[in-house]
Amino acid sequence: TRELMRSMVGQEDVTLDGKRVHVYCNIGSPEDMASVLANDGQGIGLFRSEFLYLASQDYPTEEEQFRAYKEVAAAMNGKRVIIRTLDIGADKQVDYFHLHKEENPAMGLRAIRICLNRPEVFRTQLRALYRASAYGKIAIMFPMIASVWEVKECRRACQRVMDELTAEGIPFNPDTEIGIMIETPAAVFIADELAQLVDFFSVGTNDLTQYTLACDRQCNDLGKFFDPHHPALLRALKMTADAAHAAGIWIGICGELGADLSLLPTFLAMGIDELSVTPTAVLPLRAAIRKSIAKTCTLELLNS
Ligand code: PEP
Ligand code: MG
């Protein structure tokens, strides 16, 4: 099978009947790039930017962030690099943010909620991202979105940063794609409205499973109750995919479920456009895609 996987390097991610699925990688720091390149990842579908914040004793500067984003963008050589804005809180605590201790951190002040509450922290990261956009095909993605107003506020923050950079004569790509993670049930229910505001969706199935099934992703005792194959979750994915496609935008999956080969036929039946997985899962996924026939795939798993 090692031989078989090696033979997948350089092959296209298309089914036997010609449906293309972009196979991208999830990374947690620029150090993961070696593995992305070795496994022939066709883009970065989720760059978790938390590492910069977790690794330092104080807020990372614009320059530090810019260097990290630019490094990944340049290494991907024009292929898409989706960088997620800060997603701390909940399981990822950073002392210098001085966040209050919460009873239910998964439902507390985390991710985009922190960024919208702290415009200066958000602005610094957005400036670094836009500056890096001049050196590769960067896309910006916002985590934990639950409401339309949040996306509008994110877009306004992006516009302000672009205006600043323009005034300062600093290069950036004004057409940088903006997307959101779909990882709350609220976002699923209003996906039709959200799709009007962004260029793409990426489903975070880890959190979407947690919030849909009311099962803490950190709790090891839940066993089979934490079931990412639950029809409720698969129907949520289908609803989101339909809303995306009706609005003419693309949809990917960047949660762990994306690498679950037993669900590949279900994803193909929904028309999922991109799967972002850990680098070592790229070639097995490619092999499975290349053996599939999309038009014969069904949605039978959406019923119990
Ligand atoms: C997810 O929630 O599925 C996801 C991809 O993000 P994270 O695991 O970083 O919360
Ligand atoms: Mg998440």
Average pLDDT, the chain: 96
pLDDT tier at 291 (50, 70, 90 boundaries)? very high
Both structure tokens of 9: 């390097």
Nearest atom, ligand 1, residue 255 CA: 3
Q: Identify the pLDDT of residue 55.
A: 87
In this prediction, residues 227-236 reach a mean pLDDT of: 98
Task: Answer whether residue 19 shows pLDDT above 90.
Answer: yes
Q: What percent of the chain has pLDDT over 90?
A: 92
Task: Answer whether residue 190 shows pLDDT above 80.
Answer: yes
pLDDT tier at 14 (50, 70, 90 boundaries)? very high
Q: Identify the pLDDT of residue 278.
A: 98
Residue 250 vs residues 22, 244, 301: alpha-carbon distances, Å: 11, 6, 22
Question: DSSP readout, 100-114?
Answer: PP-SSGGGSS-THHH
Question: DSSP readout, 167-230?
Answer: HHT----TT-EEEEEE-SHHHHHTHHHHHTT-SEEEE-HHHHHHHHHT--TT-TT-GGGS-TT-
Q: Which of 161, 148, 158 is nearest to 193 (CA)?
A: 148
Q: Which of 195, 196, 191, 222 is nearest to 209 (CA)?
A: 222
State whether the beta carbon of 13 lies less than 6 angstroms from ligand 1.
no
Q: Identify the pLDDT of residue 93.
A: 82
Pick the residue whose CA is nearest to atom 6 on ligand 1: 204
Q: What is the pLDDT of residues 232-263, one digit of tens each?
A: 999 999 999 999 999 999 999 999 999 999 99
Task: Answer whether residue 4 shows pLDDT above 90.
Answer: no
Helical (H) or strand (E) element with 65: helix 62-75
Q: What is the pLDDT of residues 120-169, one digit of tens each?
A: 999 999 999 999 999 999 999 999 999 999 999 999 999 999 999 999 99
Q: Identify the pLDDT of residue 89.
A: 85
Nearest atom, ligand 1, residue 203 CA: 3
Pick the residue whose CA is nearest to atom 3 on ligand 1: 204
Residue 56 vs residues 30, 60, 97, 151, 275: alpha-carbon distances, Å: 15, 7, 12, 28, 31
State whether the beta carbon of 204 lies less than 6 angstroms from ligand 1.
yes
State whether the beta carbon of 206 lies less than 6 angstroms from ligand 1.
yes
Q: What is the pLDDT of residues 40-76, one digit of tens each?
A: 999 999 999 999 999 899 999 999 999 999 999 999 9
Interface predicted TM-score (ipTM) over 0.95: yes
CA 201 to ligand 1 centroid distance, Å: 13
Task: Answer whether residue 91 shows pLDDT above 90.
Answer: no
Q: What's the gap between Cα 131 and its chain centre?
A: 20
State whether the beta carbon of 252 lies less than 6 angstroms from ligand 1.
no
Report the chain's C-alpha Rg in angstroms. Answer: 19
CA 228 to ligand 1 centroid distance, Å: 13
CA 9 to ligand 2 centroid distance, Å: 29
Q: Identify the pLDDT of residue 293.
A: 98
Residue 276: phi and psi, rounded to 5, are -115, 120
Task: Answer whether residue 119 shows pLDDT above 80.
Answer: yes
Task: Answer whether residue 1 shows pLDDT above 80.
Answer: no
Cβ contact 2:243 at 8 Å: no
In this prediction, residues 280-287 reach a mean pLDDT of: 98
Residue 108: phi and psi, rounded to 5, are -100, -150
